[in-house]
């Protein structure tokens, strides 16, 4: 437990750990974007055409009132 | 195979990509020339050190940092229009989206490189990663701006993707390397409805993220100044102040870019005049909002009468920097507000004039925020009455940065459609018996009349 | 002779002529509290301001907090009526009258606070006789007066057609004075085309005019504080910060008021889910913006660490103002959660065990126990508990940290468990969030004024304890506000009849899908016949 507390206080006071923060943030963003782009491109033909899909969901919304 | 979306303006939008005139060649030559001069100036600085600039003690941040803040501010235009207006459900923004985001993409690198140019030893930039301290605003600055740049590129690329596929398919007469480029960048985009659906979903999600990022980035940039104790910088308002200023100058830049594109590429049908009227209303609100913040800032300082603060105050109002300060007030408020309110409606020429003045004025404003404070810093013994005169090196590099941005932008418009073809497309035909107008609901848009 | 749709008549007009026992009880109770307040004020006037807790250096206390609080709430009306009208948001129609009424009455009660705060109220005339234009207090008097006159006008103008409707639709047994009231207020309104056009122009002008006035009011009030050099006050962010806070608290008050009106008068058809949803989005946005400004403010002081400024922040974070500060923060976070998380969670989540109320209750119990354990004196029970459970010896500090982390986890558990319940009841959720916000914003005003007053720049520190007099007068002010509200909506319709009818016409015209709404009223038909277009 002490190690964790001292680790956290070191993160905030010593030079060095802050840089890890930068790298973590950028890498996390990179990973997320990679996965998202791949997911987008994996969309296939089975989806319905957009107009009636939009209308269908709109109809569902309006009937739920 | 393709979604049943057609865009009747497609030919007009793709026309610039099929052309490359002598005017282009001349423009690029001039811009490359300016960049070369700037490159030479930087070489001088690299060889002889930062002494070739006007920087000194106590004025250690000058034109380069002004450029940094200015370019990051310009970048906020794109995100404002594509992300924030997307969330607000303003559908009139659609034709502008890519032109605005292109400003973001092409100004951010120059903002970041301004920092590197400002450093006498640029390789020390890596120290942020090796020896970063979490409590430093510079670290947050580095993180936020890098994340913003990265995310903007991804956001831009995603919204460009269907149009790259369009270019791949339509521009069959382009040279082989160009067609190969489109093929590579299109990542095999087919354009089926499911892909479009997912793309829209991701763009919606990223729009929220980008909005939060915009607020964070420019606030954090301002906190590089605001978290010091220097008089004139250490105000709590500096966060919202810089943020509104950024969105203001960015929107003005979008107007300029749009007007130029409209004229040069003959896009009058696609970028109708009511776009400019909508932007005009936004600009009036921003001008007044920014005037409000300026008054709040300077009134508080004046009434406080604190010694160190007043030295900086008088520097701006009556002493060394009075000329720049009052010129800035004229260029950012007085003239543009008059033009926006009385002359701007339906008149693109006047709008562009006002927006150019706004941007020049905003550059001056950044300068006036940064430099006077350094000439009258807090520690009295340093009251060497600091002074700052920029040299030709700084001027040349600034010119090179602007030229670089314009060059990248101009080049982009010749290879990719500047108006998003897929976002401005309409449905081809409806099935019989279905009603047409079903406005796409986003997050319970405020102000949109949807039947209850 | 102006006619009105029968449903509108039943819901909005008929209650005005029937004084139920419920009304009389409420009115009497409120009047009693107000009378009590008058008595306490007379006492304070005779015995002097020593009856309050104010002293040197704390010369501004609860009264000033109330002043800023009430003026802040008055921004509700402007936001809803004026800004939404200017941006063409149709959903504002049923709530404009409630909002404008809040503005007018909040301004009255707010200005009263200043008079109550003065030991010699007769000196108020000095502002006019010996006013100095460079004084922020003079600007304050000017702007609040302008805003008040503007708001009254802005409340009255849309009231004219409604007064005319009431004049023409009084039941036969209506008292003479009431009919006379409506006749006078309607100033001969006949509903001709020319009159409508002029009224529209006037309202549109007032809407655009009153927005900058409202912004200036709360900015100038903040400058009364910011133009001093007191630590914690001398901050340039105060202008926009106060405006944002005012709009924020105003929306909260509006939620409460419109729910009360909706409940008591049975106006579910008029003030419907659409209003709650859209206003809720605005509310969340203002919450976020307010949090941003608060954070910017406090971070500046924290980073600056200046000699006089930092003790003020310290007193708020862990000093004598820590309870009020942290309660405020918690209330705002709770409000944010209530408004946002139910919207984000799908309704189907109710079937997942963790998202049910009993788990929220269990989490709540665990949180309470943890809070108790954290605050026990050393050697802490928490330490003992952890050591015995996990067999690992921990220091007290580490045990405390773990305790706080667990507390946050349990509180999040409460939040998640309650969310589906909140999702099913948007009106209740809005009211709970608004109550949190209104109380939180009162505390926020307290946290701005009192720490600086008790830790001023030159004089020694002091302590401030509000007395019974101040609390009585605060209660009386709230009662006065509620009483004015009650009486006003006993005499005038809570929903602007003509604006709502107009809205129905516009919606039917715009949408291609038929709404199952009541048939357009006579008035709406008349408007359509004249081809008057709005929006």
Please, which residues have CB within 8 angstroms of residue C11's CB and are 6 or more apart in sequence? C265, C266, C267, C269, C270
Q: Does C387 touch chain A (CB under 8 A)?
A: no
Residue B399 and residue B254: Cα distance in Å, rounded?
Answer: 20
Section C443-448 average pLDDT: 94
Section B393-406 average pLDDT: 93
Section B259-288 average pLDDT: 87
Best residue of A5, A9, A60 to probe chain C, by most C CBs closer than 10 Å: A5
Residue C361 and residue C367: Cα distance in Å, rounded?
Answer: 10
Chains that touch C (3 or more CB pairs under 8 A): A, B
The helix or strand, by DSSP H or E, that contains position C502, with its residue range, turns out to be helix C497-510
- All residues of chain A having their beta carbon less than 8 Å from the beta carbon of residue C397 are 5
Query: What does the block give as tokens for B338?
Result: 């008059």
Q: Is the peptide bond before B170 cis (omega within 30 degrees of 0)?
A: no
Q: Which residue has the higher pLDDT, A25 or B345?
A: A25
* pLDDT the model gives residue C433: 92
Q: Do B236 and C236 touch (CB under 8 A)?
A: yes
Residue C380 and residue C399: Cα distance in Å, rounded?
Answer: 8
* Least confident piece of the model among A16-30, B2-16, C247-261, C356-370: B2-16
* Least confident piece of the model among C64-68, C226-230, C401-405: C401-405
Please, which residues have CB within 8 angstroms of residue C202's CB and are 6 or more apart in sequence? C157
Share of residues in chain C with pLDDT > 70 (%): 91
Q: Does A13 touch chain B (CB under 8 A)?
A: yes
* pLDDT the model gives residue C535: 32
**Local confidence band at B2 (pLDDT 50, 70, 90 cut-offs):** very low
In chain C, what are the domain boundaries? 1-301+472-535
* pLDDT the model gives residue B447: 38
Q: Do B147 and A61 touch (CB under 8 A)?
A: no
Section C243-254 average pLDDT: 93
Best residue of C132, C236, C533 to probe chain B, by most B CBs closer than 10 Å: C236
- All residues of chain B having their beta carbon less than 8 Å from the beta carbon of residue C304 are 227, 229, 234
Query: Closest partner residue to B237 among C87, C227, C236, by Cβ?
Result: C236
Query: Across all residues in chain B, what is the average pLDDT?
Result: 84
* pLDDT the model gives residue C503: 86
Pairing type for strands B5-6 and B426-427 reads antiparallel
* Least confident piece of the model among B200-204, C26-30, C232-236, C375-379: C375-379
Query: What does the block give as tokens for C121?
Result: 């109220």
A6 to chain B, closest Cα gap in Å:
15
Closest among C407, C408, C401 to A4, alpha carbons compared: C401
**Local confidence band at B148 (pLDDT 50, 70, 90 cut-offs):** very high
Q: Is it the case that residue B258 has pLDDT exceeding 70?
A: yes
* pLDDT the model gives residue A57: 46
- All residues of chain B having their beta carbon less than 8 Å from the beta carbon of residue C133 are none
**Local confidence band at B289 (pLDDT 50, 70, 90 cut-offs):** very high
**Local confidence band at B177 (pLDDT 50, 70, 90 cut-offs):** confident
Find the residue in C nearest to B239 (Cα): C296
* pLDDT the model gives residue C201: 92
- All residues of chain C having their beta carbon less than 8 Å from the beta carbon of residue A62 are 513
Query: Closest partner residue to B300 among C226, C277, C535, by Cβ?
Result: C226
Closest among B337, B329, B144 to B243, alpha carbons compared: B144
Q: Against a cut of 0.90, is the pTM above it?
A: no
Where are the extended beta strands (E) located within C124-247?
none
Please, which residues have CB within 8 angstroms of residue B312's CB and are 6 or more apart in sequence? B231, B232, B372, B373, B376
Express each pLDDT in B321-344 by its tens digit.
999 999 999 999 999 999 998 887
Query: What does the block give as tokens for B49?
Result: 């050190």
* pLDDT the model gives residue A55: 43
Query: Across all residues in chain C, what is the average pLDDT?
Result: 85
**Local confidence band at C516 (pLDDT 50, 70, 90 cut-offs):** low
**Local confidence band at C388 (pLDDT 50, 70, 90 cut-offs):** confident
| Coil, strand or helix at C306 | coil
Interface ipTM: 0.82
The helix or strand, by DSSP H or E, that contains position B407, with its residue range, turns out to be helix B392-415
* pLDDT the model gives residue B204: 87
* pLDDT the model gives residue C27: 93
Closest among B65, B101, B123 to B397, alpha carbons compared: B65
Domain that residue A50 falls in = 2-63
Section B244-268 average pLDDT: 89
* pLDDT the model gives residue B85: 81
* pLDDT the model gives residue A54: 45
**Local confidence band at B439 (pLDDT 50, 70, 90 cut-offs):** very low
Q: Is it the case that residue B311 has pLDDT exceeding 70?
A: yes
Q: Total structural domains in chain A? A: 1
Residue B103 and residue B101: Cα distance in Å, rounded?
Answer: 5
Chains that touch B (3 or more CB pairs under 8 A): A, C
**Local confidence band at B354 (pLDDT 50, 70, 90 cut-offs):** very high
Find the residue in B nearest to A61 (Cα): B441
| Beta carbons of C463 and C61 less than 8 angstroms apart | no
The helix or strand, by DSSP H or E, that contains position C21, with its residue range, turns out to be helix C21-47
Residue C275 and residue C497: Cα distance in Å, rounded?
Answer: 16
Q: Do B134 and A17 touch (CB under 8 A)?
A: yes
**Local confidence band at C531 (pLDDT 50, 70, 90 cut-offs):** low
Express each pLDDT in C37-67 by its tens digit.
999 999 999 998 888 888 888 889 999 999 9
* pLDDT the model gives residue C497: 87
- All residues of chain A having their beta carbon less than 8 Å from the beta carbon of residue B216 are none
B166 to chain C, closest Cα gap in Å:
34
- All residues of chain B having their beta carbon less than 8 Å from the beta carbon of residue C282 are 446
Express each pLDDT in B81-94 by its tens digit.
788 888 777 778 88
Q: Does B431 touch chain A (CB under 8 A)?
A: yes
Neighbouring CB atoms inside 10 A of B160's CB total 22
Q: Does B292 touch chain C (CB under 8 A)?
A: yes
Residue C388 and residue C201: Cα distance in Å, rounded?
Answer: 76
Find the residue in B nearest to A51 (Cα): B427
* pLDDT the model gives residue B201: 87
Q: Is it the case that residue C396 has pLDDT exceeding 80?
A: no
Q: Do A2 and C395 touch (CB under 8 A)?
A: yes
C299 to chain B, closest Cα gap in Å:
8
Beta bridge partners of B427: B5
In chain B, what are the domain boundaries? 9-230+247-279+389-426
* pLDDT the model gives residue B364: 93
Query: What does the block give as tokens for C416?
Result: 């998640």
The helix or strand, by DSSP H or E, that contains position C8, with its residue range, turns out to be helix C6-8
* pLDDT the model gives residue B127: 83
Q: Does A64 touch chain B (CB under 8 A)?
A: no
| Beta carbons of B291 and B333 less than 8 angstroms apart | yes
Section B138-163 average pLDDT: 90
Please, which residues have CB within 8 angstroms of residue C201's CB and are 6 or more apart in sequence? none
- b/e map C4-17, b = 16+ CB within 10 Å: bbeebbebbbebbb
Residues of chain C whose beta carbon is less than 8 angstroms from a beta carbon of chain B are 84, 87-90, 136, 212, 215, 219, 223, 226-229, 234-240, 272, 274, 277-278, 281-282, 292-293, 296-297, 299-301, 303-304, 306, 506-507, 510-513, 515, 535
Which DSSP category does B426 fall into?
E
Q: Is it the case that residue A12 has pLDDT exceeding 80?
A: no
Q: Is it the case that residue A24 has pLDDT exceeding 80?
A: yes
C187 to chain B, closest Cα gap in Å:
33
Find the residue in B nearest to A37 (Cα): B158
- All residues of chain A having their beta carbon less than 8 Å from the beta carbon of residue B5 are 50
Q: Which residue has the higher pLDDT, C486 or A9?
A: C486
- All residues of chain C having their beta carbon less than 8 Å from the beta carbon of residue B296 are 219, 223, 236-240
Section B280-284 average pLDDT: 90
**Local confidence band at C255 (pLDDT 50, 70, 90 cut-offs):** very high
* pLDDT the model gives residue C518: 59
Query: Closest partner residue to A5 among C392, C397, C513, by Cβ?
Result: C397
């Amino acid at each position: 437990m002490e190690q964790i507390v001292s680790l956290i206080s070191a993160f905030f006071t010593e030079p060095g750990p802050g840089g890890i923060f930068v790298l973590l943030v950028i890498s996390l963003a990179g990973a997320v974007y990679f996965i998202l782009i791949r997911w987008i491109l994996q969309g296939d033909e089975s989806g319905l055409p957009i107009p009636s899909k939009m209308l269908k969901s709109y109809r569902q919304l309006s009937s739920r009132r | 195979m393709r979604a049943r979306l057609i865009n009747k303006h497609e030919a007009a939008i793709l026309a610039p990509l099929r052309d490359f005139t002598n005017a282009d060649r001349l423009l690029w030559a001039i811009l490359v020339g300016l960049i070369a001069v700037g490159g030479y100036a930087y070489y001088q600085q690299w060889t002889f050190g930062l002494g070739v600039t006007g920087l000194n003690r106590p004025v250690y941040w000058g034109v380069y940092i002004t450029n940094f803040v200015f370019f990051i501010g310009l970048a906020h235009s794109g995100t404002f229009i594509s992300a924030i207006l997307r969330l607000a459900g303003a559908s009139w923004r659609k034709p502008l989206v890519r032109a605005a985001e292109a400003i973001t993409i092409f100004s951010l690198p120059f903002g970041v490189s301004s920092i590197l140019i400002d450093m006498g030893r640029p390789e020390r930039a890596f120290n942020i990663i090796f020896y970063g301290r979490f409590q430093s605003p510079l670290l947050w600055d580095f993180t936020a701006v890098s994340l913003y740049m990265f995310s903007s590129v991804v956001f831009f690329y995603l919204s460009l993707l269907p149009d790259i596929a369009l270019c791949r398919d339509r521009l069959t007469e382009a040279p082989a390397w160009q067609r190969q480029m489109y093929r590579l960048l299109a990542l095999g985009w087919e354009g089926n409805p499911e892909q479009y659906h997912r793309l829209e979903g991701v763009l919606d999600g990223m729009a929220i993220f980008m909005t939060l990022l915009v607020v964070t980035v420019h606030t954090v940039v301002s906190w590089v100044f605001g978290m010091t104790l220097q008089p004139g910088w250490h105000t709590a308002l500096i966060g919202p102040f810089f943020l509104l200023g950024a969105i203001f100058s960015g929107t003005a830049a979008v107007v300029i870019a749009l007007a130029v594109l409209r004229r040069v590429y003959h896009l009058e049908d696609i970028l109708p005049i009511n776009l400019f009227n909508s932007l005009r209303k936004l600009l009036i609100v921003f001008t007044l909002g920014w005037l409000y913040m300026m008054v709040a800032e300077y009134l508080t300082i004046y009434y406080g009468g604190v010694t160190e603060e007043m030295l900086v105050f008088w520097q701006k109002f009556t002493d060394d920097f009075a000329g720049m300060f009052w010129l800035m007030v004229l260029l950012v408020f007085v003239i543009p507000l008059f033009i926006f309110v009385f002359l701007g409606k339906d008149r693109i020429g006047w709008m562009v004039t006002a927006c150019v003045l706004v941007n020049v004025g905003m550059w001056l404003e950044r300068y006036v925020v940064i430099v006077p404070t350094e000439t009258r810093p807090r520690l009295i013994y340093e009251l060497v009455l600091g002074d700052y005169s920029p040299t030709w090196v700084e001027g040349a590099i600034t010119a090179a940065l602007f030229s670089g941005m314009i060059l990248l932008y101009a080049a982009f418009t010749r290879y990719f459609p500047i108006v998003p073809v897929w976002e401005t497309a309409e449905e081809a035909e409806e099935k019989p018996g279905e009603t047409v107008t079903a406005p796409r609901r986003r997050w319970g848009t405020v102000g949109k009349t949807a039947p209850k | 002779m102006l006619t009105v749709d029968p449903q509108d008549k039943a819901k909005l007009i008929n209650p005005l002529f029937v004084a139920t026992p419920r009304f009389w009880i409420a009115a009497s109770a409120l009047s009693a509290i107000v009378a009590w307040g008058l008595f306490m004020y007379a006492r304070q006037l005779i015995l002097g301001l020593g009856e309050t807790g104010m002293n040197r250096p704390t010369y501004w206390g609860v009264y000033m907090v109330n002043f800023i609080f009430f003026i802040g709430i008055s921004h509700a009306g402007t936001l809803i009526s004026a800004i939404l009208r200017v941006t063409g948001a149709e959903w504002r129609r049923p709530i404009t009258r409630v909002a404008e009424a809040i503005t007018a009455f909040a301004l009255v009660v707010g200005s009263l606070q200043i008079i109550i705060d003065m030991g010699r109220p007769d000196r108020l005339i000095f502002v006019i006789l010996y006013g100095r234009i460079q004084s922020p207090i003079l600007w304050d008097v000017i702007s609040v007066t302008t805003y008040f006159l503007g708001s009254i006008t802005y409340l009255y103008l849309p009231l004219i057609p409604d007064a005319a409707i009431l004049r023409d639709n009084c039941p036969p047994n209506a008292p003479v004075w009431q009919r006379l009231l409506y006749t006078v207020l309607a100033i001969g309104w006949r509903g001709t085309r020319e009159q409508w056009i002029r009224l529209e122009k006037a309202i549109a002008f007032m809407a655009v005019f009153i927005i900058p006035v409202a912004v200036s009011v709360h900015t100038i009030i903040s400058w009364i504080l910011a133009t001093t050099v007191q630590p914690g006050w001398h901050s340039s962010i105060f202008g926009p910060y106060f405006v944002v806070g005012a709009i924020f608290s105003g929306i909260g008050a509006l939620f409460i008021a419109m729910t009360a009106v909706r409940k008591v008068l049975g106006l579910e058809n008029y003030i419907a889910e659409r209003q709650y949803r859209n206003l809720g989005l605005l509310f969340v946005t203002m919450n976020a913006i307010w949090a941003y400004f608060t954070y910017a403010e406090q971070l500046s002081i924290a980073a600056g660490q200046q000699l006089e400024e930092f003790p003020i922040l310290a007193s708020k974070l862990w000093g004598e103002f820590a309870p009020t500060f942290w309660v405020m923060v918690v209330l705002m976070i709770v409000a944010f959660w209530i408004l946002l998380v139910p919207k984000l969670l799908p309704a189907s989540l109710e079937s997942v065990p963790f998202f049910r109320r009993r788990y929220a209750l269990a989490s709540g119990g665990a949180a309470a126990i943890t809070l108790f354990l954290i605050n026990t004196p050393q050697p802490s029970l928490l330490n003992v508990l952890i050591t015995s459970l996990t067999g690992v010896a921990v220091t007290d500090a580490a045990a405390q940290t773990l305790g706080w982390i667990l507390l946050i986890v349990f509180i999040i558990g409460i939040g998640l468990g309650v969310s589906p319940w909140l999702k099913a009841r948007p009106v209740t959720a809005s009211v709970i969030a608004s109550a949190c916000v209104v109380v939180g914003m009162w505390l926020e005003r307290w946290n701005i004024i009192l720490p600086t007053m008790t830790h001023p720049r030159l004089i020694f520190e002091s302590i401030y304890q509000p007395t019974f007099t101040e609390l009585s007068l605060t209660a009386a002010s709230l009662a006065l506000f509620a009483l004015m509200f009650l009486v006003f909506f006993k005499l005038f319709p809570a929903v602007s009849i003509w604006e709502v009818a107009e809205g129905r016409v516009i919606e039917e015209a715009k949408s291609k899908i038929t709404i199952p709404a009541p048939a357009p009223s006579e008035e709406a038909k008349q408007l359509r016949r004249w081809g008057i277009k709005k929006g």
